[in-house]
Amino acid sequence: MKAVVANDHGAVDLAKRMLDHLKARGIDYEYLGTDSEESVDYPDYAAKAVMEYRRGGYDFGILMCGTGIGISISANKMEGIRCALPQTSFSARMARMHNNANFIAFGGRVEYPEPVEKMLDAYIDASFEGGRHQRRIEKMMALEGR
């Protein structure tokens, strides 16, 4: 399994935690984020991660900014991307099972009700169910560019 990971200045500490967690799980990653708290623009990091993901060889992407909102919206503007912004392990798991999310986003300044690593694990360990959900994914993706 391999992930592409990127963050802006609002999630430097969270990115370090996530990279440590991926390493502990034995998941390879390409890190494209900033390790500085000097202000940068999250759309640039979303774009870098998506462009790298599109090169192939990645199972999913992880994006982080202060809230996770701006970087997830930015990624979702790019063709073929379904970036989820879960608040719980349940929503992280469903993002994969029902929405086949290929990116997941988190906020470095958000106080979550459970550890972010637990939410990431729920996402990673889930599998897309297909079936009726595939039909919905196709309808969702057909909305691009409208």
145 confidence band (pLDDT: 50, 70, 90): confident
Count CB neighbours of 140 within 10 A: 12
Beta bridge partners of 84: 104
pLDDT of residue 43: 98
The CA distance from 50 to 10, in Å, is 19
pLDDT of residue 37: 94
Q: Tell me which residues are annotated as active site.
A: 65, 98
For residue range 9-51, list pLDDT tens digits in order: 999 999 999 999 999 999 999 999 999 999 999 999 999 999 9
Assess contact for 77 and 126: CB atoms under 8 A.
no
Number of structural domains, the chain? 1
The tokens describing 94, both together, are 């469903």
Q: Which domain holds residue 115?
A: 2-142
Assess contact for 62 and 5: CB atoms under 8 A.
yes
DSSP-based three-state secondary structure for 121 = helix
For residue range 70-116, list pLDDT tens digits in order: 999 999 999 999 999 999 999 999 999 999 999 999 999 999 999 99
CA distances 41 to 48, 49, 53, 54, 146, Å, are: 11, 13, 19, 21, 26
Residue 104 dihedral angles phi and psi, to the nearest 5°:
-135, 140
CA distances 47 to 19, 63, 126, 127, Å, are: 19, 10, 25, 25
Q: Kindly report the pTM of this predicted structure.
A: 0.97
Beta bridge partners of 28: 2
For residue range 42-73, list pLDDT tens digits in order: 999 999 999 999 999 999 999 999 999 999 99
Task: Write the DSSP string, 15-31.
Answer: HHHHHHHHHHHT-EEEE
CATH number at residue 35: 3.40.1400.10
pLDDT of residue 136: 95
